[in-house]
Chain A
Amino acid sequence: MLSFWSRLFQRTPPADFVRAYEAFPEPDRRLPWREVPYTVIDVETTGLDPRHDALIAIGAVNVENGRVLLKQTWYSLIRPPPDREPSVESIRVHHLTPEELRDAPPPEAVLAELLQRIAGRVLVVHVAEIDVRFINAALKPFGGRLRRPILDTARLAMTLHLNAQWLGEQSRDMPAPAIELRGLVNALGLPIYAQHNALNDAVTTAQLFIAQATLLADQGRNNLAGLIRAGGV
């Protein structure tokens, strides 16, 4: 019989799909960035606090050979717990109604598919902290959490900005880049796909990522380790 304390600190035994995910070897950090497989994800939530809000949609697109593969995309809604259905304000942002979400697959099924899709790949997220916290909170009951390395395009943007200042390509007076996705993508002259849809945002982020990785490679950070130093979480 487990004591109260041991029960508090013991990790829930991992589910099978978590075990399978963890069994994959981590990508070799010495590989040139183009030779590493990535999955770029974006999530929609009912709010900003993982303790009270729910993960309700996820979009993903793969990057291989340095190219965004529109053929390898994935999008799913996630059924929120009955007490965490979206508020009216959040519906205005993501346009997902409680009715649609009640028909969505339960978290377990979606998370299992997510881990299967990202196993052995490097995860790329824009402003990773929030998305990662939500996914980890959702994974907790199944004894799992996302593995590193995880790359954050907002961090990569900041590093590129600092590098440009340091190299004298940009005046020190230039303000730091906005971390908002649209602003960053605009600044690089890239197209933006309809916002606040997890899949479109994932594709927009993926484009931003390949541009950033190309720029970094030009500055001598050609491998995965360099990317992680520049924008790892």
Chain B
Amino acid sequence: MDEIARFLRSYPPFDRLPDHVVHQIAGELQIEFVRAGQTILTRGGEPAQFLYIVCKGSVDLLRSGDQVVDTLGPGEAFGHPSLIRGQPPLVTVRAHTDTLLYLLPGAIFHRLRAEQPQFAAFFAASVIERLGYAIQSRQAESNPALFQTRLRDLIARPPVFISADATVGDAARLMRAERISSLIVDQQPPGIITDRDLRNRVLAEGLPDTTLVRQVMSAPATSISADALAFEGLLLMLERGIHHLPLVDHDRVIGLVTHTDILRRQSNSPLFLPRLLQRATSLADLRRYTDQVADAVNTLMAAGARVSDIGRVVAVAHDALLQRLLHDAEAELGPPPVPYAWLVLGSEGRYEQTLRTDQDNALVYDDEASPEAVRYFERLAELVVGWLVECGFPRCPGNVMASNPEWRQPLSVWQRYFRRWIEVPDEESLLRTAIFFDYRQVYGALPAEPILRTITQHAAEHRIFMARLARAALRQPAPLTFFRQVALERRGEQRDLLDLKLRGTAMVVDIARLFGLEARSNETNTIARLRAAMAAGVLSREDGDNLISAFELLSTLRLQHQQQQIAQGLPPDNLVNFHQLGPRERREIKESLQAIASVQRGVALMFQTDRLA
């Protein structure tokens, strides 16, 4: 029955199983024919005895009241939740058309689950577990080293300790004897002293070799659990700008890893970025730096990083660039006359930028600014926005940039802006909210971010604003047809298109912003907002987890699509041809959109959008 094995092998999870296992499965199947309208499983009835796989035709899954929650087509399976739990089915399954089914007997299904982890993970009982698995398996297949290796396994030797009361001379001699570049300072919590500290904090400062370790060490040392993943260690080192990371197990340092331990063979490691930025002396160098950031995104993507992690890496790298540019601009124009703040907005503000996209930024300066100071900031903004263009960040087509005087204002004006958007939630305000509420301060001595947060934190008290924001978030419904299939569009000659941003990630971003505000959270990142909303109890755990998984998946597919386009020399867009995707992707997209649709239904009720005129 080669055909059946071949049929199975073109659908997940069978596409990941060894050939001989798929053949075994094919040999165990039973074939059943059901007529349209016939019930296969009954909600609350007899537990399923088989895993059912649709071969031809389609079946509807129905909740109470005959509400169709899903329609499954060829290659899709049902019955496993009931089979796994040995409990009555939670949904009724009815043939939508005349349908041919392959039935895998329960005993064989259970044996496969025990023997094949991939199979078990795929048929986990809930959608959320499955989507989670989909994300994981993408990571695992590309580079197991970063995402399966525990830092513990990278430890080359036990750590070498030194007392805080030893002298730096002792420390240097110990490092030489042990041929290492850092020592753990033996105290609670532990500290660290590195060869760089000896150079920068001792020699360069003209301190004697009798200086005590405690005076120049870093304490407490930034450390991480020895059971964390290699990739988590990598991110932490990048964010903190450190090269040595002590690993902790039960409050004890049991070893130490350096970034070369983690990425020995990766030339595009993001960890090389800070050094590259430091060495840059010209705009051309800086342009090369942003090219390197883009390469690092490719490397991380190939290494299977989650898009949310890549967004964090990119944010660190681009923030560093901005800080450098503003620093250089100040060097050119002289020190700022009054304190100011540089804000990044939109995807950059949410830590979700993965490619060099249009600039979205704003400038806030102190209310005491004189007319000359105002002119200073005008020149500063012009300069930095121009440099950013040269580094590969095009001007914002909507002119949301610090070079636009409307978005370069004293703090009190910004406070008025935000209050107006909340108190008079007209169309324009809602448009602004979508960009300006995702703000982050990247540079400047003026504490603009915390001051503005006090306003956005109270947005949830304005129920009309929240209802309007909710309605705006629902304006793009999840693209599903009446039969819960993915609804596709047509653009000119092209058919079967799905916009992974507009009809995908953007829907989650909007919902997350809404729930983040409802939870009075200061987070700007989509996933962090959803987590905050779950923690505050305004979003159910199930809905939140589903949205996070859906967001990760759609973002991953979108970034993959864009990188393919870039590799082919095409301008990146968000449009994929749904039918050219593999069955795995198609199914993941469908489940993601269904998860989003289900939350969207609750949003309308919760924010009472129906009460709006």
Which chain B positions have C-beta within 8 A of A214? 33-35
Query: Are the C-beta atoms of B27 and A189 separated by less than 8 Å?
Result: no
Which chain B positions have C-beta within 8 A of A70? 1, 4, 26-31
**Beta-carbon nearest neighbor of B97 in chain A:** A189
Q: Is A31 an interface residue (CB 8 A)?
A: no
0/1 string, B327-369, CB within 8 A of A gives 1: 0000000000000000000000000000000000000000000
Query: Are the C-beta atoms of B1 and A210 separated by less than 8 Å?
Result: no
**Beta-carbon nearest neighbor of B25 in chain A:** A70
- List B residues at the A interface (Cβ < 8 Å): 1-4, 7, 26-35, 55-57, 98, 100, 103
**Beta-carbon nearest neighbor of A68 in chain B:** B31
In the assembly, what is the distance between CA of A199 and CA of B3, in Å? 12
In the assembly, what is the distance between CA of A35 and CA of B574, in Å? 55
- Using A70-B28, A189-B57 as known contacts, say yes or no to A210 and B33 having CB atoms under 8 A apart: yes
Interface residues of B, dominant DSSP: mixed
0/1 string, A196-217, CB within 8 A of B gives 1: 0000100100110011001100
In the assembly, what is the distance between CA of A32 and CA of B32, in Å? 16
Question: Least Cβ distance of B37 to chain A in Å?
Answer: 10
- Using A188-B98, A189-B98, A193-B3 as known contacts, say yes or no to A69 and B56 having CB atoms under 8 A apart: no
Q: Is A191 an interface residue (CB 8 A)?
A: yes
Query: Are the C-beta atoms of B28 and A71 separated by less than 8 Å?
Result: yes
Q: Is A99 an interface residue (CB 8 A)?
A: no
0/1 string, A158-179, CB within 8 A of B gives 1: 0000000000000000000000
Most A CB contacts (10 A, CB to CB) among B4, B30, B35 go to B30
8 contacts between A and B (CB under 8 A): A70-B28, A70-B31, A189-B56, A189-B100, A191-B55, A200-B1, A207-B31, A210-B32
Known: A69-B30, A210-B31. 12 other contacts (CB 8 A): A66-B33, A70-B1, A70-B29, A189-B57, A189-B98, A193-B4, A203-B31, A207-B31, A210-B32, A211-B33, A211-B100, A214-B34
Which chain A positions have C-beta within 8 A of B1? 70, 193, 200, 203
Query: Are the C-beta atoms of A218 and B35 separated by less than 8 Å?
Result: yes
**Beta-carbon nearest neighbor of B38 in chain A:** A214
Query: Are the C-beta atoms of A67 and B32 separated by less than 8 Å?
Result: yes
Give which listed residue, B2, B31, B55, B56, contacts A67 with CB less than 8 A: B31
In the assembly, what is the distance between CA of A215 and CA of B38, in Å? 12
- Using A70-B30, A71-B28, A207-B100 as known contacts, say yes or no to A191 and B7 having CB atoms under 8 A apart: yes
Query: Are the C-beta atoms of A194 and B31 separated by less than 8 Å?
Result: no
Question: Least Cβ distance of A189 to chain B in Å?
Answer: 6
Question: Least Cβ distance of A151 to chain B in Å?
Answer: 16
Which chain A positions have C-beta within 8 A of B35? 214-215, 218
Q: Is A20 an interface residue (CB 8 A)?
A: no
Query: Are the C-beta atoms of B32 and A190 separated by less than 8 Å?
Result: no
Question: Least Cβ distance of B80 to chain A in Å?
Answer: 19
In the assembly, what is the distance between CA of A66 and CA of B33, in Å? 8
In the assembly, what is the distance between CA of A34 and CA of B450, in Å? 72
Give which listed residue, A71, A191, A210, contacts B3 with CB less than 8 A: A191
Question: CB within 8 Å of B: which of A41-99?
Answer: 66-71
**Beta-carbon nearest neighbor of A212 in chain B:** B33
Query: Are the C-beta atoms of B32 and A191 separated by less than 8 Å?
Result: no
In the assembly, what is the distance between CA of A173 and CA of B329, in Å? 85
Question: Least Cβ distance of B297 to chain A in Å?
Answer: 43
Question: Least Cβ distance of A61 to chain B in Å?
Answer: 9
In the assembly, what is the distance between CA of A138 and CA of B34, in Å? 38
Which chain B positions have C-beta within 8 A of A211? 33, 98, 100
Which chain A positions have C-beta within 8 A of B31? 67-68, 70, 203, 206-207, 210
A-B CB proximity, top 9 nearest: A68-B31, A67-B30, A211-B33, A210-B33, A67-B32, A70-B29, A193-B3, A214-B33, A69-B30
Most A CB contacts (10 A, CB to CB) among B7, B32, B35 go to B32
In the assembly, what is the distance between CA of A108 and CA of B195, in Å? 88
Which chain A positions have C-beta within 8 A of B2? 194
- Using A203-B1, A206-B31, A211-B33 as known contacts, say yes or no to A67 and B103 having CB atoms under 8 A apart: yes
Query: Are the C-beta atoms of B100 and A190 separated by less than 8 Å?
Result: yes
In the assembly, what is the distance between CA of A215 and CA of B7, in Å? 26
In the assembly, what is the distance between CA of A30 and CA of B56, in Å? 31
Question: Least Cβ distance of B570 to chain A in Å?
Answer: 38
Query: Are the C-beta atoms of B33 and A207 separated by less than 8 Å?
Result: yes
Which chain A positions have C-beta within 8 A of B4? 70, 193
Query: Are the C-beta atoms of B28 and A66 separated by less than 8 Å?
Result: no
Question: Least Cβ distance of B179 to chain A in Å?
Answer: 64
**Beta-carbon nearest neighbor of B50 in chain A:** A67
Question: Least Cβ distance of B488 to chain A in Å?
Answer: 23
In the assembly, what is the distance between CA of A113 and CA of B353, in Å? 69
Which chain B positions have C-beta within 8 A of A210? 31-33
**Beta-carbon nearest neighbor of A63 in chain B:** B31
Which chain B positions have C-beta within 8 A of A189? 56-57, 98, 100
In the assembly, what is the distance between CA of A35 and CA of B603, in Å? 51
In the assembly, what is the distance between CA of A78 and CA of B30, in Å? 27
Which chain A positions have C-beta within 8 A of B28? 70-71
Which chain A positions have C-beta within 8 A of B56? 189-191
In the assembly, what is the distance between CA of A197 and CA of B103, in Å? 24
**Beta-carbon nearest neighbor of A213 in chain B:** B33
In the assembly, what is the distance between CA of A189 and CA of B97, in Å? 11
In the assembly, what is the distance between CA of A68 and CA of B28, in Å? 11
Question: Least Cβ distance of A186 to chain B in Å?
Answer: 11
In the assembly, what is the distance between CA of A200 and CA of B34, in Å? 21
Question: Least Cβ distance of B441 to chain A in Å?
Answer: 61
Query: Are the C-beta atoms of B27 and A191 separated by less than 8 Å?
Result: no
Give which listed residue, B3, B27, B30, contacts A68 with CB less than 8 A: B30
In the assembly, what is the distance between CA of A69 and CA of B105, in Å? 11
Question: Least Cβ distance of B38 to chain A in Å?
Answer: 8
Give which listed residue, A71, A193, A215, contacts B27 with CB less than 8 A: A71
In the assembly, what is the distance between CA of A188 and CA of B347, in Å? 51
Question: Least Cβ distance of A71 to chain B in Å?
Answer: 6
**Beta-carbon nearest neighbor of B1 in chain A:** A70
Which chain B positions have C-beta within 8 A of A193? 1, 3-4
**Beta-carbon nearest neighbor of A208 in chain B:** B33
Question: Least Cβ distance of A114 to chain B in Å?
Answer: 21
**Beta-carbon nearest neighbor of B100 in chain A:** A190
In the assembly, what is the distance between CA of A188 and CA of B3, in Å? 18
In the assembly, what is the distance between CA of A207 and CA of B56, in Å? 12
Which chain A positions have C-beta within 8 A of B7? 191
**Beta-carbon nearest neighbor of A70 in chain B:** B29
Which chain B positions have C-beta within 8 A of A194? 2-3
